Structure 1
Amino acid sequence: TKALDEQVGGNHYKNFEIQPIEFIHKNKIGFIEGNIIKYACRWKVKGKLEDLEKIKKCADDSKVGVVIGGGLLGLEAANALKQLGLNTHVVEFAPQLMAVQLDQQGGKLLRNKIENLGVSVHTGKATSEIVAGEQCRYRLNFADGSHLETDLVLFSAGIRPYDTLGNKAGLTLGERGGIVINNACQTSNKDIFAIGECALWDKKLFGLVAPGYNMARVAASQLSGGDLQFNGADMSTKLKLLGVEVGSIGDAHGTTANAKELIYQDPIRDCYKKIVLNESGDKLLGAVLVGDTSDYDTLLQYMLNDMALPEHPECLILPDSAGAPTLSSSALPDTATICSCHNVCKNDIISAIDNGANELGAVKTCTKASTGCGGCTALLKSVVDAELAERGVEVNNHLCEHFAYSRQELLHLVKVEKIKTFAELLSSHGEGHGCEICKPAVGSILASTWNDYILSEQHVSLQDTNDNYLANMQKDGSYSVVPRIAGGEVTAEKLIVLGEVAKEFNLYCKVTGGQRIDLFGARLEQLPVIWQKLIAAGFETGHAYGKSLRTVKSCVGSTWCRYGVQDSVAQAIAIEDRYKGLRSPHKIKMAVSGCTRECAEAQSKDIGIIATESGWNLYVCGNGGMRPRHADLFATDLDDVPLVYPLSVNRNPTFNSASEVIPKVSAVLLMPLNTTPSSTTT
């Protein structure tokens, strides 16, 4: 600091305040000519809340917004503009989005996904000037002669090093900015160190936090007489952009000499995966993941730790590969990097445990692992649990500090002791007052076990926001409302009411996969009025937010379809009316198809019914989610009478787990209408 003070002239260090990066120029931004003062802002990683308020205020007066820059931050900025209700465009100089992280095919898929979400993408566009527009406030003129009009411009065009202080001090800067440093993080003046975004190492600027932390460690080591060196940083990243999962690891472009590539592409699921291997095919150099990043953590460990790949490395990216090896904690070397943000390796965690950190929280405190982005939380817990188990330490699987039991153990206590309320469970098996972890967990256990009214006085405090407000909270804090439309049948009058409500409250309408209409964008204070109008029209909540029966989907059946052999709509309505409100450990979906053409997709549901010439075939245990499963045929050619038995007034508390729900529901479905149910199947 003394050398710095001398070079800039005087004792400035004590009163020196580092200002946030500002690159909003009145007459020129980068190489773009024009005068764009009021509605031009630079999207920054770190800024003031006032900056965001200014952007929001500009957006309130705008209809069209443009983000210049199609990198990570640019796409996040585009998402922000879209959420503010603007017609959003992304302008990128490179021929594809995220050109640094993704290859051409990955960038193409990302573009398609983002455009399908309503954001227009313009690649290969160099903005030469910004002038007054005709339809909008401004017009961006591109070098190729085309143009784009907009009301608001956000700049997110790369890292701009804030090197003003270094320039004043006479330190060596790079051609495009940045204070040049060596492996010791020293500048051209050996008494001055530079770290973070302002530092230029090997002609590279780092805009992520992890390299900054590593530089800080190096600088601290050098200042204290150590010899730690900075040798670059892993820039692998995993994130979700506009709802699209994206991952990039190591040499994603395969620029290493003699590198080989293995590619998996699924155009149905819009998923693209590529792994880059060395010449011999036994080491991972990099990877690109778009649409599905579930393999990211495993691939990253193979790359970071230079681990030998399995005999068939393609199994690492193929879906549901039975031969894919599980990368357990014991398989990781002690040098394996667990937390990239804070550069914590497995050996650091082992040392912390050996020094007395016998639970996850203590390990986090000692090592700072998983206190950055949080992406390594699952891996960290796996390593900690494995190391503790290896030392004979019992791994704590308690639900929370108020219950010294796991969730499964609490479920057994509730069933065996017939506990009906949270207060009763807490007084007999817990301590304290409960928390945001145990209350909803116990609430779910009680609801699926006893099926009492969840909004009663003794249960309402256990429910989350969605159950309390009969709506589903969305990512922006607004709510979606889904009225029940049993069997997908709705009258014209009710459709008009839905349209009128959506129009009055400016709600986005979406037909769901369960044949219902979802109304998005409601504010909390609007929900009572919205439900008042819907209830007056004969609607009720569809429980689209709960662990309960969601929908019973149907085709039009024999009433309209020339192939239909049974009235699937009437059957679906009867089943949905019977089971609506039924709580369970997980959501339940059903469907009824009027013929074997299976338009209602009944065989991918928890309970599926398909019409035959002789009656109905009953299927159970299907799934259409992340791991699709064809349902099992449970019974054939059932008549209308024994298929559905009216639900008795007193629901029996026998639906205790996912494994029990299906057979018991199936048993009741098979019960004749003229049969009195026993106490075990009511």
Structure 2
Amino acid sequence: MNRTLIVAGHGMAGHRLVEELRSLDPAGRWRIVILAEEPHPAYDRVALSSYLDGRSASDLALAAPGFLDDPLLELRLSTGVDRVDRAARTVTTTTGEVIGYDALVLATGSRPFIPPVPGHDLPGCYGYRSLGDLDAIREAAVPGRPGVVIGGGLLGLEAANALRLLGMEPHVVELAPRLMPLQVDPDGGEMLARHVRDKGLRIHCGVATASIQAGPDGRANGVALADGSTLEADIVVFSAGVRPRDELAGPAGLATGERGGILVDEYCRTQDEHVWAIGECAAVAGRCYGLAAPGYRMAASVARQLMGQEGEPFGEADMSTRLKLLGVEVASFGDAHGSTAGSLELSRRDGAAGTYAKLVLDGDGRTLLGGVLVGDAAAYGELRPFLGRGVPAAGHRLLAGAH
């Protein structure tokens, strides 16, 4: 007889869990019910911005051909979990149905953080998280008119590029003194800002958003900044980070982390032996991870556990990133900010080429601890495997003439 697994959420981590479990379960021991809040099956959220650059929802879909024909899978779109009854081992869906489970995996992801500034909920204000958000932004966009993105991190720059692709004139407002403050250092941020300004973006760093102003029609038409200035805006996009979707935890008696997220151990187990959490909603030893790769690792581990196998403990997540934003290559790996006690930082800036490279070494200058690359990230693939080891030839080439 089949046992029933309920997966709450069909994002990238939830989908990977289902794929992993089906590959490990050819005998069909598990029947899987996927409850997806969005009207679309799982899609590549990392490539979300390409949806405004010619790709369709089907282009971004993660499910392989035949996935939805699997008789052991039941995908319910536009249907989330309203509450969990751990004693009865049931979930009540947002449509009011009660479904029993033998195992429950919470993969509810995260939601955009909307700063609670006055006017944040005006018409014309949008998040940047889903295909639905991008559909709404595309419908509201007016070529040639200004739009403001609140947040200058990775997703904020993607949102600004999306407005640019729609023909708008984007501004980016970032509270930190530089763009992408989690990934790059001040010099790297300065070089990145130079590149994105060349692409037509207007950058406002080191300033807070005071309020969103409304026009005569009641829609957002401006962003007031804490320095007293005001930016005209037909559209305001909030991309100031995300918060884990952990609202199911409290009513179900499940613990959450100090900074949010459903608290799990290194095997992604909650205190209930029948309930796991993976992806952005999971606080592994109290910490949430906003990248796809850690979520995939969690999914693989839980799938093995569901099959009675030993899962891989999560351990430390590799937060290294290499990406291309508005045609600008950026990479960050290891201790990019030189926070290790006694570490040395060697950097090289080439204004003519528009590149910046920094390597972080241990106090003896022999061990590679991390680095930042802006403008040219070709060396990333050679450098990253050497973390915790000696500096490879690529590092010496990068830093020829460094200070």
Q: Is the 8 A contact 2:348 2:356 kept in 1?
A: yes
Which residue of 2 is the match for residue 338 of structure 1? none
The alpha-carbon deviation at position 134 of structure 1 amounts to 8.4
Cα 1:19–1:214 change in 2 (3 A) is closer
The alpha-carbon deviation at position 314 of structure 1 amounts to 4.7
Cα 1:35–1:185 change in 2 (3 A) is closer
Q: Is the 8 A contact 2:207 2:226 kept in 1?
A: yes
Which residue of 1 is the match for residue 168 of structure 2? 86
Q: Is the 8 A contact 2:112 2:239 kept in 1?
A: no
Match for residue 342 of structure 2 among 258, 262, 274: 258
The alpha-carbon deviation at position 150 of structure 1 amounts to 0.8
> C-alpha deviations, 1:252-307, integer Å up to 9, x for none?
0010111111211111111100111112222211010001111110001111xx33
Q: Is the 8 A contact 2:259 2:286 kept in 1?
A: no
> Matches of 2:195 and 2:364 in 1, distance apart?
34
The alpha-carbon deviation at position 35 of structure 1 amounts to 5.5
Q: Is the 8 A contact 1:250 1:286 kept in 2?
A: yes
Is 1:5 equivalent to 2:90 in the alignment? no
Is 1:107 equivalent to 2:189 in the alignment? yes
Which residue of 2 is the match for residue 73 of structure 1? 155
Cα 1:58–1:147 change in 2 (3 A) is same
Cα 1:318–1:278 change in 2 (3 A) is closer
Which residue of 2 is the match for residue 278 of structure 1? 362
What are structure 1's unaligned runs of at least 5 residues?
321-682
AA aligned opposite 1:215: M
The alpha-carbon deviation at position 53 of structure 1 amounts to 2.2
Between the two proteins, what is the percent identity of the paired residues? 43
The alpha-carbon deviation at position 145 of structure 1 amounts to 3.1
Give the TM-score normalised by structure 2.
Answer: 0.69
The alpha-carbon deviation at position 318 of structure 1 amounts to 4.5
Give the TM-score normalised by structure 1.
Answer: 0.42
Question: SS state of the match for residue 100, structure 1?
Answer: coil
> Matches of 1:139 and 1:160 in 2, distance apart?
26
> Matches of 1:170 and 1:106 in 2, distance apart?
44
> Matches of 2:107 and 2:390 in 1, distance apart?
46
The alpha-carbon deviation at position 203 of structure 1 amounts to 3.8
Larger RCO: 1 or 2 (CA < 8 Å, sep 6+): 2
Match for residue 295 of structure 2 among 203, 212, 236: 212
AA aligned opposite 1:293: A
Is 1:228 equivalent to 2:312 in the alignment? yes
Which residue of 1 is the match for residue 24 of structure 2? none
Question: SS state of the match for residue 264, structure 1?
Answer: strand
AA aligned opposite 1:40: C
Is 1:40 equivalent to 2:122 in the alignment? no
* 1:110-121 matches, cutoff 5 A: 110-121=192-203
Is 1:196 equivalent to 2:279 in the alignment? yes
Match for residue 321 of structure 2 among 228, 231, 237: 237
Which residue of 2 is the match for residue 300 of structure 1? 384
Which residue of 1 is the match for residue 141 of structure 2? 59
Q: Is the 8 A contact 2:361 2:370 kept in 1?
A: yes
Cα 1:18–1:257 change in 2 (3 A) is closer
Match for residue 251 of structure 2 among 168, 187, 208: 168
Cα 1:302–1:54 change in 2 (3 A) is same
Match for residue 222 of structure 2 among 139, 143, 150: 139
Structure number with higher strand proportion: 2
> Matches of 2:109 and 2:302 in 1, distance apart?
22
Is 1:317 equivalent to 2:370 in the alignment? no
Q: Is the 8 A contact 1:94 1:123 kept in 2?
A: yes
Cα 1:138–1:167 change in 2 (3 A) is farther
- C-alpha RMSD of the superposition: 3.1
The alpha-carbon deviation at position 7 of structure 1 amounts to 5.1
Cα 1:222–1:150 change in 2 (3 A) is same
**More displaced, 220-229 or 107-116?**
220-229
AA aligned opposite 1:87: E
What are structure 2's unaligned runs of at least 5 residues?
7-82, 93-97
Match for residue 182 of structure 1 among 262, 265, 268: 265
* 1:401-420 matches, cutoff 5 A: none
Who wins on radius of gyration, i.e. which is larger?
1
> Matches of 1:33 and 1:18 in 2, distance apart?
32
